[in-house]
Chain A
Amino acid sequence: MDELAITVIGRDRPGIVADVAEALADLGANLTDSTMTRLRGHFAMTLVCTGPDAGDVEAALGPLAVRGRLLATVRAVGPEEVTTPTGEPYVLSVHGADRLGIVAAVTRVVAEAGGNITDLTTRLAGPLYVLVAEVELPPGTAPQTEERLNAAAAGLGVDVVLRRAESDVL
């Protein structure tokens, strides 16, 4: 079954999740994965669901988007491809004075190492910019990647730490 990739973003207010989730539930959409958070006063939702047609979801979210002043996009995507991680899991932390290009420079190093970023959050707190990413690196490439990250960080005037992610199963 095809999946729909839906994004909704708008100025934060109470009720956004309830409004969107209700519209999807009314269409029989099964909300499989989602991530929702507040980003500097905007509420952002990224959802994957199965069930309805993209057109039906667009029609249902359209009035809500106008009334609720939300920006919504709906796109049909292929079914999930099961991918097994081949890399080793690492957590990458970067912090320093805010400046242009930190995310670009750091993630480029990871990409050039053949690493895959599976999760990433950035926060701007006053003058402090923080990036935390979960990364899969090809086996054996971590030391070299760390060296390149340190060089990139030195150029940006930020601090970077790459460390093995915990793999405890409890």
Chain B
Amino acid sequence: MSCEAGVSLDAWLAALAEPGTVRPVLNAPNPVLAREGDEVDPTDPAVLRLAADLVATMRVSRGCVGLAAPQIGESAKVFAVDVTGHPKAVTVHGTFVLCNATVVSATRWRPGREGCLSVPDLTGDVKRASRVVVEGALPGTGEPVRLTTDGFEARALQHEIDHCAGMLFLDRVAGAHALYQRKVYL
């Protein structure tokens, strides 16, 4: 891996000149959400357009801190994350999109409540690693990125990587009493 995140992510975002298109978000039980996404070529211009669309759609969706390609109907291992300004976030890397990302290290498991734009009526308690190292590639240049993060951003990354594998938080809820009807919509 060539570099830690930070600098390269900022440069990447500046290079994302093309404004994305806001796309409709699919809800479960749409089968695309349950399908494992394909690995992508991060240098493919279509993947860069998909990245721009994910960022654009994430930005107009209230309370949305991450969005994966299957959620906008593309069965691909690409997702956007931005936890900037979120009260639960400690480490924040700003807005970024990763391709073919995997968790290479996961420690300090903690329970936490999760919701999902694609499961609007339910939330659930899910145990996730609160420190992770994630490796992926930036769309466009294909530059490899190794990202170390914690807390809420780590949770968001794991949630999105799950989406790319065809998994929802519903597949990871802690038990029969860990699923809740959403009472407050953002």
Which residues of A line the B interface, CB within 8 A? Answer: 91, 93, 95-97, 119-121, 123, 125-130, 132-134, 158-159, 161, 163, 165-166
Contacts and interface: CB of A to CB of B under 8 A. Distances in A.
Contact of B175 (A91, A97, A125, A127): A91
Given A128-B121, A134-B176, 4 more contacts: A91-B174, A93-B173, A127-B27, A132-B173
Contact of B174 (A125, A158, A159, A166): A166
B170 A96 contact: no
B29 A128 contact: yes
A121 B174 CA distance: 12
Contacts of B178: 132
A115 to B, nearest CB: 14
A126 B176 contact: no
Contacts of B177: 119, 121
A128 B173 contact: no
B168 A95 contact: yes
Interface size class of B (residues with CB under 8 A): 20 to 34
A17 to B, nearest CB: 17
B172 A125 contact: no
Nearest to B171: A161
A123 B122 CA distance: 9
Nearest to A117: B176
B11 to A, nearest CB: 39
B28 interface: yes
B40 interface: no
Interface string B95-121: 000000000000000000000000111
Interface of B: 27-29, 34, 119-122, 127, 167-168, 170-179, 181
User: Secondary structure at chain B's binding surface: helix, strand, loop or mixed?
Assistant: mixed
User: Secondary structure at chain A's binding surface: helix, strand, loop or mixed?
Assistant: strand
A149 B175 CA distance: 18
Given A123-B122, A126-B121, A97 B29 contact: yes
Nearest to B170: A95
A23 B109 CA distance: 44
Contact of B176 (A95, A119, A125): A119
Given A95-B168, A125-B181, A120 B122 contact: no
A121 B28 contact: no
Contacts of A165: 175
Nearest to A124: B121
B170 to A, nearest CB: 5
A128 B27 contact: yes
B176 A128 contact: no
B106 to A, nearest CB: 15
A130 B175 contact: no
A163 B122 CA distance: 21
A116 B69 CA distance: 38
Contact of A125 (B34, B121, B168): B121
B181 A123 contact: yes
